Amino acid sequence: MNAMLEGKRALVTGASRGLGRAIALALARAGAQVVAHYYRHATEAQALCREIQALGREAECMAADLADARAGEKLAEQLTARDPEFRLDLLVNNAGLWRTTPLGTTEISAVDELLAVNLRSAFLVTQALLQWIPAGGAIVNISSVAARQGVAGGRSLYGATKAALDAFTRNWALELAPRGIRVNAVAPGYLRTEMTAAHFSNPAMLERALARHPFGRMATPEEVAAVVVFLASPAAAAITGQIINTSAGFII
Ligand code: NAP
């Protein structure tokens, strides 16, 4: 898979940590130039960019709050202002929040935040950047197994945002096929990132999750990132509109 993405330009949202960081690094190792989007963790994003540059690839960091409806436009303005030849071969819609939103107690502000960051931003960022994605380009959305199965503990809104992201994936694949752009998603199960750190600090939760994995372990962010690299690469030229389960066999 090495250098399969030589000369390609990628933007990864939420690249400051966790899965987005692993994806940005894997894309760079495969030859891509990377724009690493972040929100609050500037130091981590800058460290990632230095790590990518040390691999001999171009990298730059770009901040935006994706809860802001204008974030996509602002990113597009920043990306194109400095480079009139700007082109984006790969967009990875990865940034996301995992919140507990029980029906009984969830405030409307929490509903709006989850919908804005996990769902609306993917639509608006993709819309804003689409005109710079050429034929042969690809979009990869980061979904979750929670799109297709119930998860105990008040996760309905999170699952709904991911199910809607799957619907975006299938529909954008049809919408963008005439332009030669492929759209796919990966659906991880549990990953050990900051998103789940508090959850898995409870040994009972960790044991319960591991028991649901046939290998007795979760997938790693690097394993999920490898599938994103594949989906971005010419090796996946015949794949569009698909949601690839990368959960290491997670069963409910
Ligand atoms: P994470 O460690 O919490 O990282 C989340 C990323 O999203 C960070 O880079 C963060 O930026 C960014 N982000 C959060 N709020 C934002 C906002 N308002 N505007 C812009 N960016 C924002 O999470 P992760 O585990 O890597 O998850 C990455 C993706 O994988 C998410 O879409 C998640 O739903 C999905 N996923 C995760 C798991 C899991 O078990 N972890 C399982 C299935 C799917 P800053 O840190 O810079 O603020």
Collect all residues with Cβ–Cβ distance below 8 Å to 66 and sequence separation of at least 6.
13, 14, 39, 95, 116, 117, 121, 125
Ligand 1 pocket, residue 158 CB under 6 Å = no
Among 5, 174, 194, 186, smallest CA distance to 93 is for: 186
Beta strands in the chain (DSSP E): 9-12, 33-38, 59-63, 90-93, 138-142, 182-187, 243-245
Most ligand 1 atoms within 8 A of CB, residue of 12, 13, 16, 19 to mutate:
19
Residues 6+ away with beta carbon under 8 Å from 230: 1, 236
Number of H helices and E strands in the chain, helices first, is 9, 7
Give 18 Cα–ligand 1 centroid separation in angstroms.
Answer: 7
217 lines ligand 1 (CB under 6 A): no
CATH number, position 217: 3.40.50.720
Which residue's CA lies nearest to atom 6 of ligand 1? 14
Determine what percent of the chain is predicted with pLDDT higher than 70.
99
151-194 confidence digits (pLDDT tens): 888 999 999 999 999 999 999 999 999 999 999 999 999 999 99
Domain-embedded: residue 3:
no
Is 4 within a domain? no
The tens digit of pLDDT for each residue in 90-146 reads: 999 999 999 999 999 999 999 999 999 999 999 999 999 999 999 999 999 999 999
Q: Is the CB of 63 under 6 A from ligand 1?
A: no
Residue type, 18: G
194: in domain: yes
Active site residues: 158
- Residue 112 within a domain: yes
pLDDT tens per residue, range 19-59: 999 999 999 999 999 999 999 999 999 999 999 999 999 99
Q: Give the burial string for 56-86 (b: 16+ CB within 10 Å, else e).
A: ebebbbbbbebbeeebbbbbbeebbeeeeee
Joined tokens for residue 181: 């752009």
Ligand 1: residue whose CA is nearest its atom 31: 96
How far apart are alpha carbons 171 and 177 in whole angstroms? 10
In which domain, by residue range, is 114 found?
A: 9-246
pLDDT in tens, 4-19: 999 999 999 999 999 9
Judge whether 2 lies within some domain: no
Residue 174 lies in a domain: yes
Closest C-alpha to ligand 1, atom 23: 195
pTM of the model: 0.98
Whether residue 24 lies inside any domain: the answer is yes
- What span, in angstroms and rounded, lies between the C-alpha atoms of 203 and 120? 34
For residue 153, the model assigns a pLDDT of 86
d(CA 73, CA 175): 21
Q: How many folded domains does the chain comprise?
A: 1
* Structural domain includes residue 90: yes
For residue 79, give the H/E element and its range. Answer: helix 71-81
The residue type of 98 is W
Q: What span, in angstroms and rounded, lies between the C-alpha atoms of 98 and 114? A: 8
